[in-house]
């Protein structure tokens, strides 16, 4: 748990102007004289300011290793409880968005590479250009206006991940209710994410298709499908895999903040944003710590995926 000096000054009643005015008016208001030294000492002890800075630093490291982030300065409850409470929303948005983006972008990018210059490639490029130009938050507002009771249709809910009576629903109804709530937010996040990955996939495959080893494989009598999935695919996918950790964290954290605000979804992105505006440092540091660990984990998975896609890659040092 940490507390900055300016906030401690505010707690101890360091506003000299208010104190001076209260004194000049002969006020007997207890708060005008600030806090007692005993109370200030208790506050300093509670937040660790009575210890040397190096001791506070090591205490913080030990607490973070044990995932003990202390209590929020402005919200009731511990930081861990707040994060666990918001986790289902962020996981739902991130996983479904990532899954849909990759399921759409990779097959579409491969098809565009194989049909480069054909009408299919041209009209899909136009669609991708429009999708890339539309900001996710603007598309989210458009979805609210059209389908969430804004002006036209009232087909989808505007608040929460599930309905209030979700516990009383049967399992099929719970699944339908969940997807009913998650549809618009996920669509708003997908629209601006799949265009870039589709073009990256297309360009990567085009670059590999024009290489010498592809012509050699075709000359040996291999079919187009064999050449594509046995030779081109593993080489072209390396650049896509390398960008996955950054894309994953961006979708999970920065990409969901505005969407969570628009659709009133209480996720980690919104929690971190509120903590920054309120200077709730325990939440800010803990969310950064968790997403850093996620980034390291995803990077490790990406390295392992390299060796799975292309067994020729070996991270061991050769003599």
pLDDT digit string, tens, across residues 50-63: 778 888 888 888 88
Query: Distance between CA atoms of 91 and 94, rounded to whole angstroms?
Result: 5
Low-confidence ranges of the chain (pLDDT < 50): 1-3, 6-7, 10-27, 319
Tell me the C-alpha distance between 262 and 158, whole Å: 8
pTM: predicted TM-score of the whole model, two decimal places = 0.70
**pLDDT number for residue 35:** 65
Q: How would you label 21-36 residue by residue, b for 16+ Cβ within 10 Å and e otherwise?
A: ebeeeeeeeeebebbe
Looking at residue 6, what is its pLDDT? 47
Torsion angle of the four alpha carbons 29, 30, 32, 37, in this order, in degrees rounded to the nearest 10: 170
> Residue 315: what pLDDT?
57
pLDDT at 158: 78
Token pair in block for residue 50? 């009575």
Biggest CA pair distance of the chain:
100
Walk me through the domains of the chain, giving residue ranges and CATH numbers.
Answer: 5-50 (no CATH), 79-309 (1.10.3720.10)
């Amino acid at each position: 748990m940490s507390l900055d000096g300016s906030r401690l000054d505010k707690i101890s009643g360091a506003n000299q102007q208010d104190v001076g005015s209260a004194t000049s008016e002969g006020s007997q208001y207890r708060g005008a004289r600030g806090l007692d030294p005993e109370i200030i000492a208790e506050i300093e002890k509670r937040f660790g300011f009575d210890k040397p800075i190096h001791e506070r630093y090591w205490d913080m490291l030990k607490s973070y290793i044990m995932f003990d982030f202390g209590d929020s300065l402005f919200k009731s409850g511990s930081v861990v409880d707040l994060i666990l409470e918001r986790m289902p929303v962020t996981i739902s948005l991130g996983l479904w968005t990532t899954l849909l983006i990759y399921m759409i972008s990779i097959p579409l990018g491969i098809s565009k590479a194989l049909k480069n210059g054909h009408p299919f490639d041209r009209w899909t490029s136009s669609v991708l250009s429009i999708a890339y130009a539309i900001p996710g938050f603007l598309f989210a507002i458009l979805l609210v206006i059209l389908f969430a009771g804004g002006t036209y249709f009232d087909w989808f809910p505007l608040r929460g991940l599930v309905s209030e009576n979700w516990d009383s629903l049967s399992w099929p109804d719970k699944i339908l209710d969940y997807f009913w709530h998650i549809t618009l937010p996920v669509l708003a996040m997908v629209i601006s994410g799949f265009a870039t990955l589709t073009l990256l996939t297309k360009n990567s495959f085009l670059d590999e298709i024009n290489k010498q080893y592809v012509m050699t494989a075709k000359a040996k009598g291999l079919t187009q499908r064999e050449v594509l999935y046995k030779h081109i695919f593993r080489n072209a996918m390396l650049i896509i895999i390398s960008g996955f950790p950054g894309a994953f964290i961006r979708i999970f954290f920065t990409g969901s903040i505005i969407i969570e605000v628009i659709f009133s979804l209480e996720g980690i992105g919104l929690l971190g944003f509120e903590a920054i505006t309120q200077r709730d440092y325990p939440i800010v540091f803990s969310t950064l710590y968790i997403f850093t660990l996620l980034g390291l984990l995803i990077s490790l998975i990406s390295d392992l995926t390299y060796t799975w896609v292309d067994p020729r890659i070996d991270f061991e040092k050769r003599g």
